[in-house]
Amino acid sequence: MNTHWTSRLGFILAAAGSAIGLGAIWKFPYTAGTNGGAVFFLIFLLFTVLVGLPVLLAEFYIGRKTGKNAIDALKELSPNQTAWAWIGRVGVFGCFVLLSFYSVVGGWVLAYFVHAVSGSLNASTNYEQLFGATISNPAQAIAYQAVFMLITIWVVRKGISEGIEKANRYMMPALFIMFIILAIRSLTLPNAMAGISFLLKPDFSAVTANTLLTALGQAFFALSLGVSTMATYAAYLDRKSDLFRSANSIMWMNMAVSLLAGLVIFPAVFAFNFKPDAGPGLIFMVLPAVFQKMPLGTILFAVFMILVTFATLTSAFSMLETVIAATIRGDQSKRAKHTWGIGIAILIIGIPSALSFGAMADVKLFGKTIFDLWDFVITSLIMPICALATTVFIGYVQNRSQVWAHIREGSSLPEMVVRIWYGALRYIAPIAILLVFANTLGWIKF
């Protein structure tokens, strides 16, 4: 079994798939919609470049430098300070929990594919009611979540080159093509310019502390940072790979899909009189309406939901792979058994999240449903803590000259670029992360 990427493109598409997933397609539109649209997008872009990219490269360093899973990699890089391995342990735990509720949303995507092919979507459908009925049906929620997890397990058990890389090589280009077609159609809808202005014409008077902090949190989520996935994927890279070019490609692909998702969603929001702050169900209410305005719309919607399923799965692959890599520790003979066992465990743990919109909607911990609680724990606690620890570990604990030398392997970039990256990692990223975390816990208020 090949345990390395067969090409740089394969790695970029897989890592971009991990980053894009539902972060760009599902979460970006509704977080932008509830935080001012264009001004949120602009701040998100700045944070992604100034904070997300430096942390992404730091995770790449951890993985490729050692060629090991996240926990063992950190142990090797800090042989006399093994406490740093907790960055990897917490990240692996974060992936386990994240996939347990992420797979619920993946199930929603599969459900909408079934809605499309069954003919239950038409011009008279009330899409808000349909979404509510879809996520509140206990049997359907668990069944679709289970199917989503079984697909994820089936691919990851085959390993890197034969499973994850091969799947992404076809999924990601197809997704881009379909998004471009959709964006063109959405831009020709009546009143589309109102949606374009909402996405691309910033109103700086709408900026609040929450806008800044939510944009930074989205930058973490969108690049899969703080849960060791990028360190795990980078462990399968050879020394000839250009880490800077790969990181830039992944970041800009993620931004491109986020922009395309906005160009699909927001013109349609205003054309069909939806509310841009409709929340997590936004794409499930808006996209069916867009397709109903297109020739062969039902068929095209089914095709599109397959592609969204692909994008969702690419993120799921990276989460499960991070956990599997940490448990098999390079012994590929254990992969299939561990993948099935851990995958089923994640499915079971995720059942309460699947029921959080129906049978267990009234079950709350700390004032949150199970789904919302896990979302808060991962995106507001684990991601910023692990991202901050990574910046400190690479920026202050590791030997600077060794970090610089390894980062430049396979790259022809001048040393000045490395200096800028290292400065951002040491100063800009930690300060920004600390502000997010402190505000989340209520230690400071802006």
Whole-model pTM: value is 0.84
Mean pLDDT, range 133-159, rounded to an integer = 89
Instruction: Supply the pLDDT for residue 347.
Output: 95
Mean pLDDT, range 364-382, rounded to an integer = 86
- The tokens of 375 are what? 């979302």
Cα separation, 229 vs 76, whole angstroms: 18
Q: Residue 139: what are its φ and ψ, rounded to 5°?
A: -65, -45
Instruction: Supply the pLDDT for residue 391.
Output: 94
Mean pLDDT, range 174-188, rounded to an integer = 81
Judge whether 1 lies within some domain: no
Confidence class of residue 394 from pLDDT cuts 50, 70 and 90? very high
Specify the long-range contacts of residues 68-77, CB closer than 8 Å, at least 24 apart.
68/235, 68/329, 68/330, 69/232, 69/235, 69/322, 69/325, 69/326, 69/329, 69/330, 70/228, 70/231, 70/232, 70/322, 70/325, 70/326, 71/326, 72/326, 72/329, 73/231, 73/235, 74/393, 77/393, 77/398
Confidence class of residue 70 from pLDDT cuts 50, 70 and 90? confident
* Lowest pLDDT segment from 109-113, 172-176, 442-446: 442-446
- The tokens of 24 are what? 């760009």
Instruction: Supply the pLDDT for residue 353.
Output: 92
Judge whether 3 lies within some domain: no
Mean pLDDT, range 75-95, rounded to an integer = 87
* Lowest pLDDT segment from 128-137, 235-244, 381-390: 235-244
Find the angle CA(383)-CA(97)-CA(357) to the nearest 5 degrees: 110
Output the domain CATH number for residue 279: 1.10.4160.10
Confidence class of residue 1 from pLDDT cuts 50, 70 and 90? very low
Query: Shortest CA distance to 121 belongs to which of 264, 306, 300?
Result: 300
Q: Tell me if residue 368 falls in helix, strand or coil.
A: strand
Name residues whose C-beta falls within 8 Å of residue 164's C-beta, 6 or more positions apart in sequence. Answer: 14, 155, 156, 158, 317, 318, 321
Confidence class of residue 377 from pLDDT cuts 50, 70 and 90? confident
Going along 269-404, which residue ranges are E strands? Answer: 364-365, 368-369
Judge whether 248 lies within some domain: yes
Judge whether 446 lies within some domain: no
Judge whether 445 lies within some domain: no
47-51, 189-193, 276-280: which is most confident: 47-51
Q: What is the mean pLDDT of the chain?
A: 83
Do 402 and 62 form a contact (C-beta atoms < 8 A)? no
Q: 253 lies in which domain range?
A: 8-440
Q: Residue 314: what are its φ and ψ, rounded to 5°?
A: -60, -35
CA distances from 276 to 24, 208, 215, 334 (A): 16, 18, 16, 47
Query: Shortest CA distance to 232 belongs to which of 59, 391, 398, 101?
Result: 59
Name residues whose C-beta falls within 8 Å of residue 188's C-beta, 6 or more positions apart in sequence. Answer: none
Judge whether 31 lies within some domain: yes
Question: Is pLDDT at 194 greater than 80 in this prediction?
Answer: yes
Question: Is pLDDT at 22 greater than 80 in this prediction?
Answer: no
Question: Is pLDDT at 309 greater than 60 in this prediction?
Answer: yes
Query: Shortest CA distance to 198 belongs to which of 186, 212, 210?
Result: 186
Instruction: Supply the pLDDT for residue 162.
Output: 54
Instruction: Supply the pLDDT for residue 2.
Output: 44
Instruction: Supply the pLDDT for residue 13.
Output: 66
45-49, 155-159, 412-416: which is most confident: 45-49
Question: Is pLDDT at 253 greater than 80 in this prediction?
Answer: yes
Question: Is pLDDT at 306 greater than 60 in this prediction?
Answer: yes
- Per the structure, the count of domains in the chain is 1
Find the angle CA(62)-CA(64)-CA(67) to the nearest 5 degrees: 100
297-311, 319-333, 381-395: which is most confident: 381-395
